Amino acid sequence: MAEVRTEGAVESPDDSTGVRTGRVRLFASMCGLVFVMNLSRVVFAPLIEPFIRTFGISAGEAGLVATLAWLGSAAPRLPTGYLLTRVARHRVVLAAGGVLTAAALFTSTVESPLGLYAGALAMGLATGVYFIAANPLVSELFPGQVGRAIGIHGTANQVAAVGAPVLAGAVLAAGTWRDVFVIVAVVAGLATVALAAFARRADLPRAGADDRDFLGAIRSQWPLIVSGVAIIGITGLVWNGVFNFYVSYLVDAKPVTEPTARNLLTLAFAAGVPAFWFGGRLADRLPYVPLLLSLIGAFVACVLALTAAQGLAALVAVSVLVGLVIHSLFPAIDTFLLDSLPDHHRGSAYAAYSATMMLVSATGSVIVGSLRDLGVGFDAVFQGFAVGLFALLVVLLALYRAGRIPSGASPA
């Protein structure tokens, strides 16, 4: 899922060309780091089949690898939210880059499924710390152009999702899956070194001055936090299960070749690049909750259409549509929450929402893999997901019509 801005940035009194140049360089290094951060989360999906062949594990055990990466991304978000009330954001970002570099190198050397699980978890942990710390830092570097900066940062994040299947396919054609993690480690290390160098020279803004009561923010804003988790948590679970097994599903059920299936997964992620912009623009113009519920309904239709699609042309069309819809939902939910939360609670409450939402959505791939191990067909799994998500949509719509989904923050 995509990480969007926090507001209430503190503008530096020095707006000189030199200050801006230093911040632009720092921001450029962060765009390189966010690329490899997201790459390290999504690259497990196109490598599931090589993992099965290398370690002789089942589909459920292979799915657990991807689930651990996403659980790792969820686990540190609450403590990182608290940490940011005490430690400068750029230092936390640098620590995340160092952890990712070491974890990727470790993963490239593992010789057992247990080692693979540990490496996936460690890489996920690094990404969770990064996204909670980097988001407010980006918004504060350019207080007069927050939306533009967040948009560029988010685009770099989504380009990684697009590039993951391409990178995996190219590396597998020339080497092994281990080489993928060597590449991740090298890029993460270079970006982290560059960020450290630019951070020493940049005029960094003072961040989080008013957001100091972490638990108080959660207590005050829990209705909005719970609403956000209810809206996106199960939807994210379904998407996580679908995209992590997208290649395996297409090869098994349609059928298409493995390279073609990887290209279709790439197409779904590529559709997310314009979708992030489009979803944000829709959120600026339409009421938040009706927009979010409409996008969930469209996603249900896309999942059902995927199970019904036959032939390459239909699969191409469905892959584009599912990518557009789900990636429009991410900036819309973030805009809803971040625009509704007050400045003095925004960072802490958003961290609580993000951690909880990630814990729910991270289980998608292991659920799919476990059901497959029990002999349930992919079509039945995905159709069951769609039916369950539609039932949730009906409940959310009823709650919205009854005025039980808040459209703004609770008073402090």
pLDDT digits (tens, 9 = 90+) for 252-266: 899 889 889 988 988
Q: Which amino acid, 408?
A: G
How far apart (Å, rounded) are the C-alpha atoms in residues 6 and 133? 11
- Full-model pTM: 0.75
What's the chain's length in residues?
A: 412
How far apart (Å, rounded) are the C-alpha atoms in residues 297 and 303? 10
**pLDDT score recorded for residue 206:** 66
| 3-state SS, residue 404 | coil
**pLDDT score recorded for residue 148:** 62
Q: Give the burial class of 15: count Cβ atoms within 10 A of its Cβ; 0-12 exposed, 13-18 middle, 19 or more buried.
A: exposed
How far apart (Å, rounded) are the C-alpha atoms in residues 149 and 140? 10
Q: Give the burial class of 28: count Cβ atoms within 10 A of its Cβ; 0-12 exposed, 13-18 middle, 19 or more buried.
A: middle
Instruction: Work out the pLDDT band at 409, boundaries 50, 70, 90.
Output: low
How far apart (Å, rounded) are the C-alpha atoms in residues 119 and 72? 10
How far apart (Å, rounded) are the C-alpha atoms in residues 223 and 404? 9
- In this structure, are residues 158 and 38 in contact, taking their beta carbons and an 8 Å threshold? yes
Instruction: Work out the pLDDT band at 74, boundaries 50, 70, 90.
Output: confident
Instruction: Work out the pLDDT band at 146, boundaries 50, 70, 90.
Output: low
Instruction: Work out the pLDDT band at 154, boundaries 50, 70, 90.
Output: confident
Residue spans of alpha helices (H) in 286-377: 288-308, 312-340, 346-361, 364-373
**pLDDT score recorded for residue 295:** 96
pLDDT at 339 over 90: no
The highest-confidence range among 89-93, 116-120, 268-272, by mean pLDDT, is: 116-120
**pLDDT score recorded for residue 250:** 93
Mean pLDDT over the full length of the chain: 86
Q: Count CB-CB contacts under 10 A for residue 62.
A: 28
Average pLDDT in the 313-317 region?
96
pLDDT at 16 over 70: no
- In this structure, are residues 328 and 295 in contact, taking their beta carbons and an 8 Å threshold? yes
How far apart (Å, rounded) are the C-alpha atoms in residues 279 and 187? 30
Share of the chain above pLDDT 70, in %: 90
**pLDDT score recorded for residue 145:** 59
Question: 162 vs 190, which has greater pLDDT?
Answer: 190
9-23, 106-120, 198-212 — which is least confidently predicted? 9-23
229-238, 276-285, 304-313 — which is least confidently predicted? 276-285
User: Which residue in this structure is represented by tokens 């089942």?
Assistant: 58
- In this structure, are residues 282 and 406 in contact, taking their beta carbons and an 8 Å threshold? no
Question: 15 vs 369, which has greater pLDDT?
Answer: 369
pLDDT at 384 over 80: yes
User: Which residue in this structure is represented by tokens 């009330």?
Assistant: 85
How far apart (Å, rounded) are the C-alpha atoms in residues 249 and 315? 12
Structural domains of the chain in order of their starting residue, each with its CATH number: 17-401 (1.20.1250.20)
- In this structure, are residues 57 and 51 in contact, taking their beta carbons and an 8 Å threshold? yes
Q: Which amino acid, 106?
A: F
H-run or E-run covering 185: helix 177-201
How far apart (Å, rounded) are the C-alpha atoms in residues 379 and 376? 8
pLDDT at 350 over 70: yes
Q: Give the burial class of 253: count Cβ atoms within 10 A of its Cβ; 0-12 exposed, 13-18 middle, 19 or more buried.
A: middle
Residues 214-226 pLDDT 10s? 888 888 888 899 9
Average pLDDT in the 28-40 region?
93
List the one residue out of 99, 107, 104 whose CA is nearest residue 192. Answer: 99
